[in-house]
Amino acid sequence: MTDAQNTLPETKNDEPVSDTTLKAKRKKALGFVALILIIAVILYAVWTVFFNHSVDTDNAYVGAETASITSMVTGQVEQVLVSDTQTVKKGQLLVRVDQRDAEIALATAKAELVKAQRQYKQTQANSSSLNSQIFVSDDAIHSAEAKVAEAKAEMDKAQDDLNRREKLSVSGAISKEELSTAQSALTTAKAVYASAQAGLAQAKSSQKAAQSNLAANEALIRGADENSTPDVLVAQAKLKQALLDLERTEIKAPFDGVVTRRNIQVGQRVAPGTVLMMVVPTSQLYVDANFKESQLEKVRPGQKAVLTSDLYGDSVEYHGTVQGFSGGTGSAFALIPAQNATGNWIKVVQRLPVRIKLDPKELAEHPLRVGLSMEAKVDLSSK
């Protein structure tokens, strides 16, 4: 019994000790958790303040403003001087179209220009001729007026003779034949006078016609010279068009780049708008980096970016500048846009293309091609 009695109080004394220990352990555990939370908050704050200055994505691809090489004239292809994958320089001859038709059109345009210039000179000469006609018509009018005056005098004389003979015929002093002769002379004088008046009117009409022709002729050349009349200007425009068509028979590279998708052969007939090949400007490439919409809060045009290519690996870095943002997400401009107005809709994080311009010098050292994969990281702290 003594042992049992001694044991019982010890058990009762252990219970308060266990509660105290448990409370201490619990307090210690809560303190440890609180310490972890405080450390996490501090680490997040440090990361936010000192390290959260960039966003990155591996959903990025190389792009370029490629040039479609098309024909501007109709004709048969005479030479094709490049092939796919060939590097070309700006102004390098790519394709030559048969020039004979263009040369004929050029010769025709030159002849039409010479003809228009000669017509201008002829118009000037016509003005001089019409001026001479006006001076001559003045003399003709004066001569006709003189004839009218002479005919009027003859008619008046014939009228006086007839009047005298009529008075004498009443008394029988002259014969009827003489009176008839006087009447005939008056009729003839009147006819001559009428003819003279008609001649005067014709001379005046001829002068007016010459004056009208001169005015019309002067209107064609007034304020112009041999190189500025309408007909000459039209001929000059046709000549320029013919020269341009002849120049366009030689199709040249618009910039430095690489030939791709060549689909033209010697002997093929082309028409304006026919696509012959494409040229990709290897020194003017850019990257479209598709960032998540949640990453774009602090991204701004002008910020610097560092990029790496799967072609060269992480050992080669490209430096670029953010140029801007696309007008919409990739799904918005898809052939069949996503239809979210459905009952089983699930939100999907969208990606917006961000255009990044690459450094031409770095591209020259490590060339890229359109469509290659890139990894892009934008420095949010840069301006």
Q: Kindly write down the DSSP assignment for every residue of 74-138, as one continuous string.
A: -EEEEEE---TT-EE-TT-EEEEE--HHHHHHHHHHHHHHHHHHHHHHHHHHHHHHHHHHHHHHH
Tokens 């089983």 sit on residue: 344
334 part of a folded domain? yes
| Residue 320 · residue 378 · CB < 8 Å | no
Q: State what percent of residues in the chain have pLDDT above 70.
A: 86
User: Is residue 86 located within the same domain as residue 164?
Assistant: no
What pLDDT was estimated at residue 166?
A: 76
How are strands ordered across the β-sheet holding 269-270? 250-252, 93-97, 75-80, 269-270
Is the pLDDT at 278 greater than 90? The verdict is: yes
Is the pLDDT at 13 greater than 80? The verdict is: no
Residue ending a domain, among 183, 215, 243, is: 243
333 part of a folded domain? yes
In total, how many domains does the chain have? 2
What pLDDT was estimated at residue 11?
A: 44
| Residue 142 · residue 255 · CB < 8 Å | no
Check residues 12 and 181 and name the one with the higher pLDDT: 181
User: Is residue 173 located within the same domain as residue 152?
Assistant: yes
Q: Using CA atoms, how far apart are residues 101 and 61, in angstroms rounded to an integer?
A: 45
38 part of a folded domain? no
The dihedral over CA atoms of 255, 260, 266, 268, expressed in degrees to the nearest 10, equals -100
User: Is residue 106 located within the same domain as residue 205?
Assistant: yes
165 part of a folded domain? yes
Residue ending a domain, among 243, 275, 291, is: 243
263 part of a folded domain? yes
- State which amino acid sits at residue 324: G
41 part of a folded domain? no
Q: Identify the three-state secondary structure at position 29.
A: helix
User: Is residue 234 located within the same domain as residue 122?
Assistant: yes
Which residues are paired to 61 by β-bridges? 288, 373
Q: State what percent of residues in the chain have pLDDT above 90.
A: 42
Q: Using CA atoms, how far apart are residues 350 and 364, in angstroms rounded to an integer?
A: 34
Helix axes 230-247, 100-171, angle to 10 degrees: 170
**Phi/psi at 377 (nearest 5 deg)?**
-135, 120
User: Is residue 227 located within the same domain as residue 265?
Assistant: no
Q: Which domain holds residue 363?
A: 55-98+249-383
Is the pLDDT at 262 greater than 90? The verdict is: yes
- Maximum Cα–Cα distance for the chain, whole Å? 216
322 part of a folded domain? yes
Residue ending a domain, among 196, 220, 243, is: 243
Mean pLDDT of the chain: 83
The closest of 160, 161, 145 to 199, measured between CA atoms, is 145
What ranges make up the beta strands (E) of 190-270? Answer: 250-252, 257-260, 269-270
User: Is residue 129 located within the same domain as residue 199?
Assistant: yes
User: Is residue 306 located within the same domain as residue 265?
Assistant: yes
User: Is residue 114 located within the same domain as residue 206?
Assistant: yes
Q: What is the CA radius of gyration of the chain?
A: 53
User: Is residue 273 located within the same domain as residue 211?
Assistant: no
Find the mean pLDDT for residues 177-196.
83
User: Is residue 383 located within the same domain as residue 259?
Assistant: yes
* Local confidence band at 61 (pLDDT 50, 70, 90 cut-offs): very high
User: Is residue 84 located within the same domain as residue 154?
Assistant: no
pTM: 0.61
Check residues 37 and 132 and name the one with the higher pLDDT: 37
Q: Rounded to an integer, what is the distance from CA 260 to the centroid of its chain?
A: 25
Find the mean pLDDT for residues 348-371.
91
Q: How many helices and strands (H and E) does the chain possess?
A: 5, 14
The closest of 289, 349, 328, 325 to 59, measured between CA atoms, is 289
Is the pLDDT at 230 greater than 60? The verdict is: yes
Q: Tell me, what CATH number does 64's domain have?
A: 2.40.50.100
Find the mean pLDDT for residues 76-103.
94
Q: Which two tokens stand for residue 359?
A: 């450094």
| Residue 102 · residue 236 · CB < 8 Å | no
Q: Which of 36-45, 275-284, 358-367 has the weakest average pLDDT? A: 36-45
User: Is residue 151 located within the same domain as residue 135?
Assistant: yes
48 part of a folded domain? no
Q: Tell me, what CATH number does 134's domain have?
A: 1.10.287
